[in-house]
Amino acid sequence: MRILVTGGAGFIGSNLTRLLVAGGHVVTVVDKLTYAGNLSSLADLQGKPGFTFVQADICDAEAMRRTFASAQPEAVMHLAAESHVDRSIDGPGEFIATNVTGTFQLLQAALGHWRQLSGSPRDAFRFLHVSTDEVFGSLGPTAPAFNESTPYDPHSPYSASKASSDHLARAWMDTYGLPVVVTNCSNNYGPYQFPEKLIPVVILKCLRGEAIPVYGKGENIRDWLYVDDHARALLAAVEKGVPGRTYCIGGDNERRNIDLVKLLCSLLDEFRPRADGKPHDSAITYVTDRPGHDLRYAIDARRARAELGWAPQEDFQSGFRKTVRWYLDNPAWIQGILDGSYRLERLGKI
């Protein structure tokens, strides 16, 4: 397929793009290259047949129109989003602009493109809107996991902006007929994740011998999904998903934050022990919890398993071992972010 991927220079987007190109798809990546967009995450794809990169803002209606006209996609996989909760608390405006206005502009461009199609290309076209389980709010310790019927209850500017974008995507399906599929995923982890999220933060703090910050008592629970498993689910949603339906994607891997941090520390004790002989978890420090910190997320992915034929391949340990190993084996990628040089790699806008 010819596939347009927004946010393809980000964490999930770059891993997804790599999967698509390896599978023979023709991929056009659109990315604004904000602080979290990193061309180094796509370095191995530069110059390969079937891969094109466009630096553009999804809020720019004319740029999106030109991109659709050039790429002529058979599917859109919309991942471009501001996604860090702490940043949304400090500066919500960027989240409203990208996640709400940007999604609106992209839906409009996709609708114009789709309306020009006819016959089987029109019937086969899909707009995949990729969202998060955070739109559902917080679960109690023993409450049933989120599923496709869970009411929305967002608690942060980030989750509220994503909830808004979900509603827009469904409205463009119901009002205009645009064939939209929505996915809501649990916390992703794996290679190329920007080092502001929990897992890369812990790894980098351990490598530097610094204090490892854990919010509150570390009792918040998340379901962890390895990014390659998520990418396979997204492709399955485009290929097999029913327009108008939502699919919850989870790793079946719930962990308390403190238990995850200790697991990562134990892996680093194995792979990269401290020079002083102390265990890495001796550096754990508890810090003031952030406002509106949801207690627990969990995903019931039975619909995705049944209708998409998908299941996660990584288990409770394997994905975390791969992730720690990747960060240890790719110091140049990490250093490029830490020293800011990755931001010098920019292409001209269309």
Token reading at 126: 């899909």
Q: Which residues pair with 54 in a beta bridge?
A: 30
Token reading at 268: 């680093």
99 burial via Cβ count (<10 Å: 0-12, 13-18, 19+): buried
What is the CB neighbour count within 10 angstroms for residue 140? 8
Query: Between vectors from CA 43 to CA 39 and to CA 45, what angle results, nearest 5°?
Result: 115
72 burial via Cβ count (<10 Å: 0-12, 13-18, 19+): middle
**CA-CA-CA-CA torsion for 222, 16, 89, 159, nearest 10 degrees?**
-70
Token reading at 145: 């996991």
- Distance set, CA 235 to CA 147, 179, 231, 312 (Å): 20, 15, 6, 13
Distance CA 87, CA 260 (A): 22
Active site members? 133-134, 158
Residue 169: name the closest of 134, 127, 113, 123 by CA.
127
Token reading at 158: 């980030």
Q: Which residues pair with 53 in a beta bridge?
A: 29
Helices 227-240 and 11-22, packing angle to 10 deg: 60
Query: 3-state class of 130 per DSSP?
Result: strand
Q: Which residues pair with 287 in a beta bridge?
A: 215
Distance CA 79, CA 183 (A): 11
